[in-house]
Amino acid sequence: MSDRTPLLLGLELSGTGAHPASWRRADSRAEELFTAGYWVDAVRAAEESGIDFAFLPDAFALPAGAAGQLDAVAVAARVAAVTRRIGLIPQASVTHTEPFHLSKAIASLDFASAGRAGWELTVSTGEAKLFGRKDEQDAASRWHEADEAAEVVARLWDSWEDDAEIRDVPTGRFIDRNRLHYINFAGDNFSVKGPSITPRPPQGQPLVAVRAAGPHSAGVAARRADLIRITAGDLATAIAYRREIRTATTAAGRDPDQVRILLDIDIHLAATADRAAAEVAQLEDWAATAAPHTVFHIGTAAELRGLLTEVSDRNAADGVVLRPLALPAALPHLPDIAPPAVVSADTPTLRERLGLPRPANRYAHS
């Protein structure tokens, strides 16, 4: 894209596509949506095309236009076995989920993928009655809880030192318990003693992603996220928002150069721009929806490459997350967008590929 660090490329795999009517297309493979093969094919196609990471959306409520949804962490674990390079970043809400369970699930995914796991931290809105445990929260309360949950998860990942497993056969000690630590977290929403029951993940701390979509989520992103997703109606807005987020990250006591800001781009690709426009018009007719207020690309893969070059040259973001309106229709075009994947015998972790250091363990003995 430019002489700077290559633009990071993410792909969001949202069911049959981000558009609620995408399942009505003849090529949607909607009948396979709840099979392992559908997800294996999609993620492997992304990996082979050089995509850096796959985002796997999830929620407790039914997604628009779909009849159900698989668990994103479980899907990521399934595709981890048949991929080697691509980062796997499932969404998981903290609003109705215990951080102890989430820390264990994402750590397990990091082991299953040999250090390629991430976690997109989300909150839940309008889903309290599905659980019956508490009343619906306002945005400030939800994101304050999310901030605490992120802290608990990070501490639990550190609650085992890297060399806690000693497997000393003569003494019968599998673990050196002096290298396991209580986290002793007490906040407004959680009181967690720890330690975890899962060893420290291969990356130390799997990458945390947060979508900065308002003041509360943006604050959590600035304090907690390695990957910050943004939406913008145009590149000028994205440039300004990126600058604002980097300033907030610095104010939170973090190095903004250790955070990657990713711009969401909704896409629909076809052999010609006219055909792409006609296909999107059909989706709109089926669903009677309007285009979202985000950077949008309807056209060819070559034209999308031009947009990505502009994102890079204008320093609008460190990477993008492509959100296909119709996922199976987009997959054949990915090789024309991304550079070919290079998988070496010693495939680095996701942190290493993104140039992010492996965090020191806060509890480790000096």
Instruction: Work out the mean pLDDT of the chain and round it to a whole number.
Output: 93
**pLDDT value, residue 295:** 85
22 versus 64: which is more confidently predicted?
22
DSSP string, 255-286: -GGG-EEEEEEEEEE-SSHHHHHHHHHHHHHH
Reported residue count of the chain is 366
For residue 2, pLDDT beyond 50: no
Q: 307, 297 in Cβ contact below 8 A? A: yes
Tens digits of per-residue pLDDT, 261-303? 999 999 999 999 999 999 999 999 888 766 556 789 999 999 9
Mean pLDDT of 171-179: 91
Burial classification of residue 51, based on how many CB atoms lie within 10 Å of its CB (0-12 exposed, 13-18 middle, 19 or more buried): buried
Cα 299 to Cα 304: distance, rounded to the nearest angstrom: 7
175 beta partners: 165
**pLDDT value, residue 170:** 92
**pLDDT value, residue 345:** 63
**pLDDT value, residue 344:** 63
**pLDDT value, residue 292:** 58
Q: What is the pTM of this model?
A: 0.94
Reference 196, options 308, 317, 111; nearest CA is 111
For residue 208, pLDDT beyond 70: yes
Mean pLDDT of 212-216: 95
**pLDDT value, residue 287:** 82
Reference 182, options 192, 174, 171, 191; nearest CA is 192
Mean pLDDT of 210-219: 96
Cα 182 to Cα 178: distance, rounded to the nearest angstrom: 11
Tens digits of per-residue pLDDT, 3-59? 457 899 999 999 999 999 999 999 999 999 999 999 999 999 999 999 999 999 999
